[in-house]
Amino acid sequence: MIQCPPKIPRLPINGVLLLDKPVGWSSNDALIKAKRLLNALKAGHTGTLDPFATGLLPLCFGEATKFSADLLEADKTYQTIVHLGVTTETGDTEGAVLETRPVAVSEEEIRQVLTQFVGDILQVPPMYSALKRDGKPLYEYARAGVTLEREARPVSIHLLEFVAYEAPFLTLNVCCSKGTYIRVLGEDIGQALACGAHLKALRRTQVGHLILQNTITLADLAALELQQRLALLAPVDALLSSFPEIELNAELSRRFLNGQRLSLAKEAVAHPETLGRVRVYQEADVQALGERQLLGSAQLQAFSVLAPERLISTVIEA
């Protein structure tokens, strides 16, 4: 009788992996592969990146998954190549070509058109998207040849930087708010230039304060031993580093983890003056030579009240 090898138990690891997603992979496929390579028990990503796109995809493991929504809300930065003169079904290289038109625009004309798309704009979501209508993603309707009416949504383009133009390819840097479709932005720029366009390439370079330079590819990750892979994980609070911090003593930490609201003024705890989201730590135990511990996130409210928000299940190393 052939015996199967014993199943290796999944590891309850906590942390953040900054992945450089390869072209052709869905965000979920990349997550599944990384989860398997790390032998992780629990994992999630922080927002999808189109299969044809590459670049920064932060993956969360264990307790870090509780804070992944923060990156969904964060601004994103991309470098993209817009192919002028050709429109496709999907707005990128994955769709069939719909129309080809001549391109006769100058760099000056392009720069002038780009100014129209900086700031707060309205954008109609594409049919080839994961947005749902009656419980079904729009791309399923699109694949069936059905086009639905979509309301324009407000988004913000913080930066739209001209990088290069070698006709018919226009390279841009874009920093934008959540919910922005760079595919639609490329199409709208092409329409404004009266020649049409689609995205030839898209690479995400930043999510919030996390940057592409700190990423690793799936191929490089697979070439490492398990302990080397685990050593690449950033701590859980890497997702919260843009928020002010508050340190509590052991007793206040216990009460905080029990979900109690704390009066910081009454407890004489140093805290930021600005109200809003904060990250909370238990101060280091000097006698035990321990490091401070991340407890979770909270809202600092009026009258110096600290209201627990998302809490770490068990105190882990920050």
Just list the catalytic residues.
50
d(Cα 68, Cα 46) in Å, to the nearest integer? 5
Which of 32, 13, 42, 16 has its CA nearest to residue 240?
16
Residue type present at position 118: V
- Kindly give the pairing relationship between strand 197-207 and strand 86-88: unpaired
Report DSSP state, residue 15.
Answer: E
b/e map of 48-76 (b: 16 or more CB within 10 Å)? bbbbbbbbbbbbbbbbbbbbbebbeebbb
Residue type present at position 208: G
Matching residue, tokens 């932060």: 58
d(Cα 24, Cα 96) in Å, to the nearest integer? 16
d(Cα 42, Cα 223) in Å, to the nearest integer? 22
**HSE toward the beta carbon, residue 300, CA cutoff 13 A:** 20
